[in-house]
Amino acid sequence: MPVRKPRRKRHNPHKRARQFFGNTRIWTWEADRGSDDAQLATAQARTARGWETLTGRVAQAVTEYPNNWIICVRALCRAGGETWVEDETRIIRDVALSEFSGLYMDLRREVLSAQRTDQVIDVGWIAGTFTKEARDHDLVMHGLGAATESRQAVWRRVNEEVLNG
């Protein structure tokens, strides 16, 4: 009688994507605009060579596949020569990042209600994936950039568009 090979589990693209993107982060600021005034985002993945920037289809795939996310909406603020970050963080499991637009606006309102608008330099979000345990404590402070007056002017224009739009 022939010996049967053990049955392999079927390929699960969502599980594979979750493992592949298990240590990525993506962030953007409202004042971070390209030449066509479109908002820019940066995506990075942790590899054996360190953090590498993701581009094109790979960066887009990070947002489309369900993952475990640490989502943080943050406001870069400055007053009296001191700079700080006001933030609201949520942990969400097994959801695609592209489904967070409503959550972003809710967290944005919470962050801005805790801060005087004239002290805000810029508002944005950062999201990081995790496989089993959410433990990226440095996520909130990553990719802050410089707190400049020109950045604040762009953010104020964008904020007016958000409030009026």
4 assigned to some structural domain: no
Rounded to two decimals, the pTM is 0.84
Q: CB 62: neighbour CB atoms within 10 A? A: 24
In a domain, 127, yes or no: yes
- Alpha-carbon span 128 to 28, nearest angstrom: 12
11 within some domain: no
The percent of residues above 70 in pLDDT, for the chain, comes to 93
Tell me how many domains the chain contains.
1
In a domain, 7, yes or no: no
Q: Is 2 inside any structural domain?
A: no
Continuous H helices in 21-148: 56-64, 101-113
- 52-105 per-position pLDDT tens digit: 999 888 888 888 888 889 999 999 999 999 999 999 999 988 888 888 878 999
Does the residue 8 lie in any domain? no
* pLDDT value of residue 14: 67
In a domain, 85, yes or no: yes
Task: Give the residue numbers spanning the domain of 79.
Answer: 20-164
Q: Identify whether 1 is part of a domain.
A: no
